A and B are shown apart, each in its own frame.
Chain A
Amino acid sequence: MIATDAPHWTLDKPSDRALFGKSLLINRPRQELFDAWQVERFPAFMENVIAIEPQAKDVSRWTVRAPAGRHVVLINRITRVVPGEAIYWQSEDASDIANSGEVRFRDAPNGRGTYVSLILAYAPPAGALGRWGAKLLQREPEVQARRDLHRFKQLMETGEVTSNASPSARSSERPTQPHI
């Protein structure tokens, strides 16, 4: 029994599987956010997701951008849904990257909106895929997941995904593209 109230994903991580969790306060009602967390809407705020196609009930095929112009394919199955509160998923064997995760929605105190937590676990792929997959996996899924969650918040709170697209004197940039 661990004497702590810290979320499990912030505790020391014993396994080789990378574990990542990020929580954000989103100033919208819990049910509205839960309802908006639909696989079809992910490409609007998940930057590296090129396409998500339904395959079977609760199973979807994700095409995700990877370094060096390559793609990875994830086959994910929704394993459990707690209405208004949480969605859990787990990858199938055919997935390029083994991963599992959950998204949780909890009321924030006193009408502040909702705490949304995205928790991801993934295992580096083996073999040839592993060489560049590892590079992808070291930081990228965490960074991407964190940024995607922020974009979800922007979209839900402001109706837009924030962009700093504006001119500069750098000839490689265009005023409609964000500068990073």
Chain B
Amino acid sequence: MRAVTWQGRHKISVETVPDPEIVNPRDAILRVTSTAICGSDLHLYDGYIPGMRAGDIVGHEFMGEVVDVGSGSSLKKGQRVVIPFTISCGQCFFCEKQQFSACDNANPAETRDASELLMGHAMGSAFGYAHLTGGYAGGQAEYVRVPYSDIGPVIIPDDLADEDVLFLSDILPTGWQAAINADIEPGDTVAIWGCGPVGLFTIQSARLLGADRVIAIDHFPARLALAKSLGAEILDYRQVNVREALDEMTGGIGPDACIDCVGMESHGFTLDNILDQVKAQFYSVTDRPHALRQAILACRKGGRVSIPGVYGGFADKFPLGQLMEKGLTVKSGQTHVQRYTGELLDMIRDGKFDMTSLVSHHAPLEDAAAMYRHWHDDQDDYTKIILKPGLEKTIVQNAHAMADA
């Protein structure tokens, strides 16, 4: 089969590799029909995620048709399913607590060791995301092996298109959990850093969970425009002092909840960020948490900070005293996708979410290398990319251009 592979920093290639096979009874094999590129894939692309090996198949946002099942799978051939990016057994202490991304069984005995050394406890598992998180092949491929297929997959009724449900795999539940973690109360103003796909679903979720006002922060006009169309007030951080603006918009107290949808590769030319970039070049720190610092400083006393943005290790100049003295509550984590997919599928059916206006491009799987380059270099034009194994090479479809035509 053909599959998108990581070959090194900024090196993605589509290769012919063996087809996956059923290995364990609970496995299923999927023929992938749609797969998206995520902001998390940028961290891999930029070489910030330890434990990648040349030749790894990437991709953790995907869906498709069941083509083979093991004896312990509850799926049937021909079913259409969306797969959560987190691989979870459903039976350990963590899965029973619905903390699926912390599953203690999905990361094999051999790969969990290194992650335990790095994090204090072994990490959970994900598709196509380095050997620290299990070393499983990803879904940017024609076929993929899905372990524990009786637990995660979301069965999709025929009347829903791929585009309506694909993001149940990650960014919709991630935005939803980010907003749930902000413990939103009536009257709240919620500030959201980053208007990438995660930020855009966090905006929608915060509003659905009852936020009175949502203020979104980024610097790309197209992404800010999408945020505005979803009901957020917007701040371009190149034009304003973000903290001053947030204070002035909230009578001086600051937002009740602040959500970091940026993660470890914060942009911007502020002094702390430039120092972080210099250090990150030499790998003495792994994270550039400019947006998170700002979120902590901006948050009102007694407020909440929610961090869906991904970080990999140690950070410099973390505002610890500010966090403590202001009495902030912090919640974070990889998304417990399986916990939310049922209710979110219902909400999609009820038309609660705009699932499609963020999608800027549909492209063939074969064009993955170019698409990764655009996703990295042209973030204003490329707001979400869906790859299709079926499409013929170089029939790139710009969704906005098609809509305008």
Partner-B contacts on A (CB < 8 A) = 25, 27, 47, 112-113, 143, 146-148, 150-151, 153-154, 157-170, 173-176, 178-180
A27 to B105, CA, bound (A): 11
> B55 touching A162 by the CB < 8 A rule?
no
Task: Supply 27 A–B pairs (Cβ within 8 Å), ascending by A.
Answer: A27-B92, A146-B109, A146-B113, A147-B109, A147-B110, A157-B91, A158-B26, A158-B105, A158-B148, A159-B25, A160-B26, A160-B72, A163-B24, A166-B57, A166-B137, A167-B18, A167-B57, A168-B17, A169-B17, A169-B54, A169-B55, A169-B57, A170-B54, A170-B55, A176-B23, A178-B108, A180-B135
Task: Give the residues in chain B near A176, CB-CB below 8 Å.
Answer: 21, 23
Which of A113, A162, A165, A179 neighbours the largest number of chain B CB atoms within 10 Å of its CB? A162
Tell me which residues from 95 to 114 in chain B have a Cβ below 8 Å from any Cβ of chain A.
Answer: 96, 104-113
A127 to B370, CA, bound (A): 60
Chain B contact residues: over half helix, strand or loop, or mixed?
A: loop
Tell me which residues from 43 to 84 in chain B have a Cβ below 8 Å from any Cβ of chain A.
Answer: 53-57, 72
> A151 touching B109 by the CB < 8 A rule?
yes
Q: B136 near A: Cβ within 8 Å?
A: yes
Q: B93 near A: Cβ within 8 Å?
A: yes
What would 13 more interface pairs be, CB under 8 Å, given A27-B92, A47-B109?
A25-B93, A147-B113, A151-B109, A153-B105, A159-B26, A162-B109, A163-B23, A163-B147, A164-B108, A167-B1, A170-B53, A175-B19, A179-B131
Contact (A179, B19) CB under 8 Å given A150-B109, A162-B147, A169-B3: no
Q: B207 near A: Cβ within 8 Å?
A: no
> A162 touching B5 by the CB < 8 A rule?
no
A159 to B57, CA, bound (A): 27
A162 to B124, CA, bound (A): 12
Interface pairs A-B: 7 shortest CB-CB: A166-B137, A147-B109, A169-B55, A170-B55, A150-B109, A169-B15, A160-B24
A25, A27, A164, A169: the one within 8 Å of B5 (CB): A169
A141 to B96, CA, bound (A): 32
Which of A163, A169, A178 neighbours the largest number of chain B CB atoms within 10 Å of its CB? A169
A108 to B27, CA, bound (A): 30
A25, A27, A180: the one within 8 Å of B111 (CB): A180
**A108's closest neighbor in chain B, by CB?**
B93
> A158 touching B89 by the CB < 8 A rule?
yes
Contact (A168, B111) CB under 8 Å given A157-B105, A158-B91: no
Within the complex, what minimum Cβ distance (angstroms) separates B232 from chain A? 39
Q: B145 near A: Cβ within 8 Å?
A: yes
Q: B134 near A: Cβ within 8 Å?
A: yes
A113 to B104, CA, bound (A): 14
Task: Give the residues in chain B near A165, CB-CB below 8 Å.
Answer: 21, 23, 145
> B17 touching A167 by the CB < 8 A rule?
yes
A112, A153, A161, A175: the one within 8 Å of B20 (CB): A175
Contact (A150, B89) CB under 8 Å given A160-B25, A168-B17, A179-B131: no
> B26 touching A112 by the CB < 8 A rule?
no
Within the complex, what minimum Cβ distance (angstroms) separates A141 from chain B? 15
Task: Give the residues in chain B near A148, CB-CB below 8 Å.
Answer: 109
**How many A-B contacts if CB must be within 8 Å?**
117
**A170's closest neighbor in chain B, by CB?**
B55
Task: Give the residues in chain B near A153, CB-CB below 8 Å.
Answer: 92, 104-105
> B112 touching A150 by the CB < 8 A rule?
yes
Contact (A166, B91) CB under 8 Å given A27-B96, A158-B148, A160-B26: no
A112 to B106, CA, bound (A): 19
> A175 touching B24 by the CB < 8 A rule?
no
> A168 touching B110 by the CB < 8 A rule?
no
A25, A27, A47: the one within 8 Å of B91 (CB): A27
Task: Give the residues in chain A near B148, CB-CB below 8 Å.
Answer: 158
Within the complex, what minimum Cβ distance (angstroms) separates B270 from chain A? 40
A113 to B148, CA, bound (A): 21
A163 to B54, CA, bound (A): 20
Which of B106, B112, B135 neighbours the largest number of chain A CB atoms within 10 Å of its CB? B135
**B148's closest neighbor in chain A, by CB?**
A158
> B57 touching A168 by the CB < 8 A rule?
yes
Task: Give the residues in chain A near B107, CB-CB below 8 Å.
Answer: 162
A67 to B260, CA, bound (A): 48
A180 to B135, CA, bound (A): 8
Which of A27, A153, A167 neighbours the largest number of chain B CB atoms within 10 Å of its CB? A167
**A160's closest neighbor in chain B, by CB?**
B24
Task: Give the residues in chain B near A146, CB-CB below 8 Å.
Answer: 109, 113
> A157 touching B92 by the CB < 8 A rule?
yes
> A175 touching B57 by the CB < 8 A rule?
no
A47 to B137, CA, bound (A): 23
Tell me which residues from 1 to 30 in chain B have a Cβ below 8 Å from any Cβ of chain A.
Answer: 1, 3, 5, 7, 15, 17-21, 23-26
Task: Give the residues in chain B near A162, CB-CB below 8 Å.
Answer: 24, 89, 105-109, 147
Task: Give the residues in chain A near B112, CB-CB below 8 Å.
Answer: 150
> A168 touching B105 by the CB < 8 A rule?
no
Within the complex, what minimum Cβ distance (angstroms) separates B62 from chain A? 13
